[in-house]
Amino acid sequence: ARAAGTRWEGVVQLVLPLPSLPMDLRHNSKIDRLQLAAAVAPRVAPLLASASRPPLLRTEDVLAAQPRRLFAACCATQAGILLLLGPVGPDLLRLQLCFSPSRFRAAVAGWRPGGELWHFRAHFLLDAWYPVLYGALLVHRAAALLPAGKIRRRLQALATFGACCDIVENALHMHAAAAPSLDAAPDWLIVAAAAAATTKWAVMLPVCWMLRPGSG
């Protein structure tokens, strides 16, 4: 009734008169909120139980839904990458992990500008974004699967690091593909790209295994 005719009408539902407020002994001017909550909880609980309000969006619901969308995006991107790679696809992993500049150049020596080289260049249209997608997927997967703590943080850090290695590898190979022929790629670039790719696979395979479906 006291709120009638004021801007609080319809907002204030209950007034709880208290003889005094519990004070925090460490600070005479501060209210002890824990004691205050314990004192008013029995009288407020029935009001909260009867109040009609929409359900809150829980953090765990968001974390459970986000990986599904990211997984769908990863699957679609991977399918597009395989389509763009075309005849280069079967040889890509071997090229990624090749530390020998001579063997790398021998493998790409017969690539035609309008054929294999075109496919190799085209797949970066999607592969440039793919590490961001699967890195985010694994980070969200870890958050949805594991409780907060060191294990979850370390898995998320490893997933991020592995995705960053993939980005470095892609950047090096895109730099090499910008030349008229991959034969012109310098030795240091071939070795650095192979090191980034090897590190990526060494990190991501255990992480994916630990966060695989059904591992929870």
Fill in the amino acid letter for 2.
Answer: R
Using CB atoms within 10 A of its CB, is residue 51 exposed (0-12), middle (13-18) or buried (19+)?
Answer: exposed
Question: What's the CA angle centered on 81, arms 80 and 83, to 5 degrees?
Answer: 65
Q: Please tell me which residue, 73 or 63, carries the higher pLDDT value.
A: 73
Question: What's the CA angle centered on 68, arms 67 and 71, to 5 degrees?
Answer: 80
Percent of the chain at pLDDT above 70?
82
Residue-by-residue DSSP string for 86-110: GGGHHHHHHHHT---HHHHHHHHTT
**Confidence label for 50 from pLDDT (cuts 50, 70 and 90):** low
Mean pLDDT of 150-160: 94
Name the token pair of 172: 């090096």
Q: What is the pLDDT of residues 20-33, one digit of tens each?
A: 777 766 666 677 77
pLDDT at 34: 76
Q: Is the pLDDT confidence value at 143 over 70?
A: yes
Are the CB atoms for 89 and 123 separated by under 8 Å? no
Q: Please tell me which residue, 48 or 201, carries the higher pLDDT value.
A: 201
Question: How confident is the prediction for the chain on average, in pLDDT?
Answer: 84
pLDDT at 62: 46
Q: What is the C-alpha separation between 95 and 194, in angstroms, rounded?
A: 8
